[in-house]
Amino acid sequence: MSASKPRIATTSLAGCFGCHMSLLDIDRRILQLAELVEFDRSPINDFKTFGDRRCAIGLIEGGCCNEENVETLRDFRKHCDLLISVGDCATMGGIPAMRNTVPLEACFAEAYLDGPTVYNPSGKIPGDAELPLILDRVYPCHEVVKMDYHLPGCPPSADTLWAALVALLTDKPVELPYPLLKYD
């Protein structure tokens, strides 16, 4: 039975998980969602990689601030039929993108050397090979891969997410009523 259900994958890139919280905020409707779909790679079930079948929908929270974000986003694009930018960070960079007007060197200096609360006796900026390289600026998802839909908001309300998911899962166009399209 579950083999025929469409699969959904979700991830949080440069985000705060607020959009995932908003998804959980659909309350009891999550039982209906569980009837309609099977969760693939997602922090909700803690699956770290994709299964062997394609996903119908990939929900992306957050933009791309480092190379790992880019790799994850490209992996989602490869495995998902529809990719959706969920929230302002995925759509326009959001709060992390506030660093975009500050040179990277100055960002690092503030974070690891000069900031008022920094304690860093070694005076070194972390540069371990294990750490993903940070990008020159934070990129909205659609500037990295093709995104099929955008649900802005900080976060998009549970009703917005529900309305969009129900439309997509029932092959209807995603037409949000006026009060559900918000940028804050």
Give residues in contact with other proteins (CB under 8 A).
85, 88, 91-95, 97-98, 100-101, 137, 140, 142-143, 147, 149-152, 154, 176, 178-179, 181-184
Q: Which is nearer to other proteins, 62 or 94 (CB)?
A: 94
Q: Which is nearer to other proteins, 13 or 50 (CB)?
A: 13
Question: Which stretches within the chain are classed as H helix?
Answer: 18-24, 29-36, 67-79, 88-92, 104-109, 158-169
| b/e map 140-155, b = 16+ CB within 10 Å | bbbebbebbebbbbbb
For the bound state, the minimum distance from the C-beta of residue 129 to other proteins, rounded and expressed in Å, comes to 29
Q: Which is nearer to other proteins, 67 or 143 (CB)?
A: 143
For the bound state, the minimum distance from the C-beta of residue 99 to other proteins, rounded and expressed in Å, comes to 9
Task: Return d(Cα 144, Cα 64) in angstroms, integer.
Answer: 8
Identity at 148, one-letter amino acid code = D
Q: Which is nearer to other proteins, 41 or 99 (CB)?
A: 99
SS3 category, 70: helix
For the bound state, the minimum distance from the C-beta of residue 183 to other proteins, rounded and expressed in Å, comes to 4
Which of 175, 100, 108 minimizes the C-alpha distance to 140? 100
Q: Which is nearer to other proteins, 44 or 145 (CB)?
A: 145
For the bound state, the minimum distance from the C-beta of residue 67 to other proteins, rounded and expressed in Å, comes to 19
Q: Distances in Å between the alpha carbon of 29 and those of 15, 67, 86, 89, 108?
A: 24, 35, 18, 25, 43
For the bound state, the minimum distance from the C-beta of residue 46 to other proteins, rounded and expressed in Å, comes to 28
